[in-house]
Amino acid sequence: MAVGIFDSGLGGLTVLDAVAKRLPDVPLVYLGDSAHAPYGVRTPDDIYNLTTSATQRLFDEGCDLVILACNTASAAALRRMQENWVPQGKRVLGVFVPMIEALTERQWGDNSPPREVAAKHVALFATPATVASRAFQRELAFRAVGVDVEAQACGGVVDAIEDGDMILADALVRSHVDALMRKMPQPDAAILGCTHYPLMETEFQAALGPDVKVFSQANLVAESLADYLARRPEMVGPGLESAFLTTGDPVKVSARATQFLRRQITFTAA
């Protein structure tokens, strides 16, 4: 009855932690492709090939449903995977849907015409590959009108977090927020469009100011997954054991993950 969670590195652990708290009886198999992280500077074809390989590994672990807890993979690979690759009886879901549902206050299956929403000026902080894909803007346009989205590619933040250098990550967050606010001085809302960024949510909020509503993904994805499994219980796969898998050095990744979640995490080689 396992569900797979994939990320290019450690950022998806924020999603795993939220899902584990929301669905404590569901075994979760996490795969971090640390050997090839970060994905945010890779080409779309490279991201697609790495993501399909990792997803197949999770299918092999007994997961019929895999969450791409990586905005870059969701932006660059998910649609192509769903159209051309996902085997019959399997599902691959991304992390954009719950965020857009929260921002537009409408369910994904609501196919009524686009309408006005409360947020008019939205700041999007994401990796360079996610920004370049324009996937968030494309999906938002199907559901909302009159929303101005200003995207900021946050180079270096993922690397700093993965390296455990939170002082550098803080400085980079403030620099990227300053750059965005020169283009959009008064955003109504901010999207943290990378699953690493919830670890820096306090820093983003401080730099943006108290009047900006910050949307962070982990809890939104967990709630959306709980709703999905309530409607589609057959998508919980046959796997019975939780596991943490990595393409990187298990000892190094385990140490960083333990620091990341502030509890003991032990990875094994994928």
Same domain, 15 and 90: yes
Sign of CA pseudo-dihedral 261, 70, 30, 64? positive
Which of 67, 172, 194, 225 is catalytic? The answer is 194
Helix axes 250-261, 13-22, angle to 10 degrees: 60
- SS3 percent helix, strand, coil of the chain, rounded to 5, is 50, 20, 35
Who wins on pLDDT, 135 or 122?
122
What tens digit of pLDDT does each residue of 1-32 get?
Answer: 699 999 999 989 999 999 999 999 999 999 99
For 90, the token pair is 């399997």
Q: What is the pLDDT of residue 101?
A: 85
In a shared domain, residues 79 and 145? no
Provide the domain count of the chain: 2
pLDDT > 90: percent of the chain: 64
- The answer to whether 200 and 169 are in contact (CB under 8 A) is yes
In terms of domains, do 120 and 71 share one?
Answer: no
One domain, residues 212 and 262: no
∠ at Cα 97 (254, 224), nearest 5°?
70
Do 47 and 107 lie in one domain? The reply is no
- Is the domain of 144 the same as that of 176? yes
Catalytic, out of 3, 68, 70, 93: 70
Q: Which tens digit of pLDDT belongs to each residue from 68-109?
A: 999 899 989 999 999 999 999 999 999 988 888 888 887 756
Residue after which a domain boundary falls, among 216, 234, 258: 216
For 136, the token pair is: 């968030």
Q: Check which CATH number belongs to the domain holding 186 and give it.
A: 3.40.50.1860
Is residue 154 annotated as a catalytic residue, yes or no? Answer: no
SS3 239: coil
Do 113 and 40 share a structural domain? no
**Can you give the residue range of the structural domain that contains 73?**
2-96+218-269
At which of 216, 237, 257 does a domain end?
Answer: 216
In the predicted model, is pLDDT for residue 252 greater than 70?
yes
Q: Residues 127, 200: one domain?
A: yes
**Residues with Cβ within 8 Å of residue 204, at least 6 apart in sequence:** 125, 173, 177, 190, 192, 197, 214
At 28-66, the pLDDT tens digits run 999 999 999 889 889 999 999 999 999 999 999 999 999
Residue 34 and residue 8 share a domain: yes
Shared domain check, 210 and 101: yes
CA distance 168 to 264: 24
Are residues 68 and 132 part of one domain?
no
Of 179, 197, 216, which marks where a domain is finished?
A: 216
194 is catalytic: yes
Q: Report the candidate in 7, 38, 37 with the shortest Cα–Cα distance to residue 244.
A: 7
Q: Are residues 122 and 168 in the same domain?
A: yes
Give, in degrees to the nearest 5, the angle at Cα 158 between 153 and 160.
Answer: 120
